Amino acid sequence: MYLVGTHDRSLDEKGRLVLPAIFRADFSEYAFLSPTGTHVAMHTEAGYHEMIERFKAQVDAGTFGLTLLRRIGSATEPVRVDAQGRVGLSPRLREKASLGSEVKVCGVIDHIEIWNAADWDPDSEDPLLESFWRGGGI
């Protein structure tokens, strides 16, 4: 199933996010959270694996250096989705993405993004992010 839609959510005092019901089946046990600077990207286990395999192939082909894998791997946090459909966002992730208590959870087809509600602008373009997409992932 594709991950689509935009949902208003609040983080609780422990920094936990209750996933929208429509996303819960896709994130059954684990999720992989990565800061991007403007938001937190959240991938399913399968989606993260596919993205990393694409990047590994590009590193093997010489398109990117090993630094890319090092940066992605060291910045990503695997988290368990609890029985209530909650995921904990570490203080580091919340700080990097400037997340307050009010957030937008947005489907981006193969992953979701968690934005500070005040910063969410679906019409803005990020040239660096666009270049990563053209390269096969984020």
Shortest CA distance to 35 belongs to which of 2, 67, 10, 71?
Answer: 71
Dump pLDDT digits (tens) for 13-24: 999 999 999 999
Residue-level pLDDT at 122: 77
What is the domain partition of the chain in residue ranges?
Answer: 6-44+75-115
Least confident of 47-51, 69-73, 119-123, 133-137: 133-137
Per-residue pLDDT for 3 more than 90?
A: yes
pTM of the model: 0.85
Task: Please give the CATH number for the structural domain made up of 6-44+75-115.
Answer: 3.40.1550.20
* CA–CA separation, 102 and 72 (whole Å): 26
